[in-house]
Amino acid sequence: MGWRPGPDDRLKTQAILGELGLEALQKQCVTSLSGGELQKTLIARALAQEAPVLLLDEPVNHLDIRNQVEILETVTKLAQRKRMCVLIVLHHLSYALRYAQDITLLHQGCPVYQGPASALDEHDLSRTYGIPVRMQTIDGQPHVLF
């Protein structure tokens, strides 16, 4: 989109708002949105730019559990449907294990583990964080415990 949105820009924006279920918010001032609504709006703005890569830094920080899951589910579905590369910084390890295909763990800025989320183990996590960490599967989903 340029400085002056044209008809194509408006159509694209309407489609993205519909895809994210944000149609009801389009006339609201951004300062009146909840944290989850704001995050979804920011994701919609990024999608409108049609970038091949979506970079998200702690997109679920300070949100309630419902909004955290909704945003991560939405991003996952969008990435699959649009065949986008999505890079997300998450400190919630259980979410990273649940939603990421690949994970990079950093310790003091250096990679400790890079690879499939499914291959990450307790040793890598314990070494990274310097505390004993356990992993447990609950209802088919991996969880990190400490």
Last residue of a domain, one of 73, 89, 105: 89
- CB–CB of 133/146 below 8 Å? yes
The CATH number of the domain where 85 resides is what? 3.40.50.300
Instruction: Report yes or no on 2 lying in a domain.
Output: no
Look up the pTM and report it: 0.81
Domains of the chain: total: 2
Residue 137 sits in which domain range? Answer: 97-146
Whether the CB-CB separation of 96 and 117 falls below 8 Å is answered with yes
Choosing from 44, 69, 89, the residue where a domain stops is: 89
pLDDT bracket for residue 96 (50, 70, 90): very high
pLDDT in tens, 18-58: 888 889 988 888 899 988 888 888 888 888 888 889 999 99
Q: Assess whether 81 and 43 both reside in one domain.
A: yes
Inter-CA distances, 50 with 28, 82, 85, 98, 113, Å:
23, 10, 12, 26, 31
